[in-house]
């Protein structure tokens, strides 16, 4: 007899695939306790390192804006000529602290900008898409990337089982298993905000936006065989490469670019522009040059400045905001909640996280409160004692929301094959052979039923995709 899934309180779960949202494309509903429970629990599954992106490196630098995009945003840090101090943290996703840098994995690309209007964080990856589009599935996916609870070993079969049951993962899986899934170092990757965000100008007009950072060092990658040799000699290869380049004043740089989409264009788009498994076609939404990001200062203390660095997409500034992207909305909650657990209640008081601008909040007590004890009678709000007050001039313009609150099947009517097909067809013959071999080696030991299920998905992307993997499987 099959068991019915429940919450930790024993309440029966009717749908574990789709979050509650206002309409199929709408924002999430706070009443989705099942989603909040899963994300909050995941944030507390590992002590004390990060649940994901545990192994990383970082450096300080500067963002310089060279082009005028004021028609899209009023953010002071994005005006032509602005220079903003920032911190970057690069990471692998699945490995624990101490894992080798040169492993096949997505690379985290997290940025914290210390603007005059408060901290602005972009928490992205070196890929423009992700494995899932609904945050309800994120904890499940991460479990497949961690160790088997009985063997305490990494379990590729779990990954392929999940991916083969989740066709929305095809785009990201194809990138991960391609040559770009094993970068030579952090200097040689692009960075993407990945999510759809919004820009707001002085007139209160909202434009949807994608953020891109294109490496000036060029994309460089290892083959599996090359990476094995590197790991055998140096487990901190990416850390070493980044640190030594900055020490030698060979400062790495990235071209900062954006794609924009009007609200009217979003309504007419042939795909959901708030879907994290999709890219925006460059021919329809061309790249716009904005500026340059440069890293030019190594941290003086890794633990204080990198390990305790806490990035969250909840940190935005006037002129930059969020979108109905369901994954982004969940991360706005989940990242800050993870920091409160991992680092401490007042994690943003730490020097590396503290904004340059003045902080006026009514948060009180809790661990790690470093403020001097000079509280006035204004320790709540509203009050009659001249405490900090709200300012309606900072309100964002509304964005339309329509649809009934329900759990919408995010796979129904969704095309998960066209974009992976376009990516596959762009690959050279050599890149395709690498892709086939990488997948076949990663599938070793996986149940034949799961392999065949995944092959059927590859077949729907392109017959040559499935055929190439089948042939590669014969030789591993």
CA proximity to 97, closest of 253, 236, 282, 300: 236
Given the residues 18, 43, 55, 125, the one annotated as active site: 125
Bridge partners of 239, per DSSP, are: none
Q: How far apart are the C-alpha atoms of 206 and 122, rounded to whole Å?
A: 19
Sequence-ordered alpha helix ranges (H) in 95-236? 138-145, 156-164, 170-176, 224-233
Surface-to-core class of residue 373, CB atoms within 10 Å of its CB (0-12 exposed, 13-18 middle, 19+ buried): exposed
Sequence-ordered alpha helix ranges (H) in 237-305? 237-247, 263-268, 302
Whether the Cβ atoms of residue 63 and residue 320 lie closer than 8 Å to each other: no
Measure Cα distances from 327 to 85, 92, 224, 319, 474 in Å.
28, 19, 31, 21, 38
Q: How far apart are the C-alpha atoms of 423 and 68, rounded to whole Å?
A: 32
Is 346 a known active-site residue?
Answer: no
Q: How far apart are the C-alpha atoms of 281 and 345, rounded to whole Å?
A: 41
Is 201 a known active-site residue?
Answer: no
Whether the Cβ atoms of residue 277 and residue 169 lie closer than 8 Å to each other: yes
Chain position carrying tokens 């900055």: 246
Given the residues 53, 195, 212, 410, the one annotated as active site: 53
Q: How far apart are the C-alpha atoms of 456 and 213, rounded to whole Å?
A: 34
Whether the Cβ atoms of residue 57 and residue 239 lie closer than 8 Å to each other: yes
Whether the Cβ atoms of residue 43 and residue 230 lie closer than 8 Å to each other: no
Tell me the backbone φ, ψ of residue 130, rounded to 5 degrees.
Answer: -140, 175
Chain position carrying tokens 């109905």: 324
Q: What sign does the CA torsion over 396, 401, 407, 410 have? A: negative
Q: Which residues are known catalytic residues?
A: 53, 125
């Amino acid at each position: 007899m099959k068991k019915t899934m429940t919450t930790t309180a024993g309440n029966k779960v009717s749908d574990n695939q789709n979050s509650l949202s206002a309409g199929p494309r709408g924002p999430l509903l706070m009443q989705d306790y099942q989603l909040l429970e899963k994300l909050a629990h995941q944030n507390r599954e590992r002590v004390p390192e990060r649940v994901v992106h545990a192994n990383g490196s970082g450096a300080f630098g500067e963002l310089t804006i060279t082009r005028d995009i004021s028609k899209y945003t009023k953010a002071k840090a994005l005006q032509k000529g602005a220079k903003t101090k920032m911190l970057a943290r690069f990471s692998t996703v699945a490995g624990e602290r101490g894992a080798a840098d040169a492993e096949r994995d997505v690379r985290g690309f997290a940025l914290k900008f210390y603007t005059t209007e408060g901290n602005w964080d972009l928490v992205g990856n070196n890929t423009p898409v992700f494995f899932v589009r609904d945050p309800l599935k994120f904890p499940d996916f991460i479990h497949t990337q961690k160790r088997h609870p009985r063997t305490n070993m990494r379990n590729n079969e779990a990954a392929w089982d999940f991916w083969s049951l989740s066709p929305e993962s095809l785009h990201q899986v194809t990138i991960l298993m391609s040559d770009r899934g094993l970068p030579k170092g952090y200097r040689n990757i692009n960075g993407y905000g990945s999510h759809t965000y919004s820009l707001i100008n002085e007139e209160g007009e909202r434009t949807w936006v994608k953020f891109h950072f294109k490496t000036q060092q060029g994309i460089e990658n290892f083959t599996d065989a090359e990476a094995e040799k590197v790991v055998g000699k140096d487990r901190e290869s990416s850390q070493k490469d980044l640190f030594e380049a900055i020490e030698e004043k060979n400062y790495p740089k990235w071209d900062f670019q954006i794609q924009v989409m009007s609200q009217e264009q979003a309504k007419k788009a042939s795909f959901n522009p708030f879907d994290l498994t999709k890219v925006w076609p460059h021919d329809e939404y061309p790249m716009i040059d904005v500026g340059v990001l440069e890293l030019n200062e190594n941290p003086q203390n890794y633990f204080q400045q990198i390990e305790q660095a806490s990035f969250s997409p909840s940190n935005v500034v006037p002129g930059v905001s969020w979108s109905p992207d369901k994954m982004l909305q969940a991360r706005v909650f989940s990242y800050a909640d993870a920091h409160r657990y991992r680092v401490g209640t007042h994690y943003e008081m730490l020097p590396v996280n503290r904004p340059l601008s003045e902080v006026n909040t009514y948060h009180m007590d809790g661990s790690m409160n470093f403020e001097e004890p000079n509280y006035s009678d204004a320790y709540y709000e509203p009050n009659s004692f001249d405490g900090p007050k709200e300012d309606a001039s900072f309100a964002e313009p509304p964005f339309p929301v329509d649809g009934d609150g329900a759990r919408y099947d995010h796979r129904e009517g969704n095309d998960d094959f066209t974009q992976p097909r376009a990516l596959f067809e762009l690959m050279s013959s050599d890149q395709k052979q690498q892709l086939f071999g990488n997948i076949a080696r990663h599938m070793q030991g996986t149940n034949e039923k799961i392999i065949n299920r995944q092959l059927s998905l590859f077949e729907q992307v392109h017959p040559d995709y499935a055929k190439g993997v089948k042939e590669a499987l014969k030789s591993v």
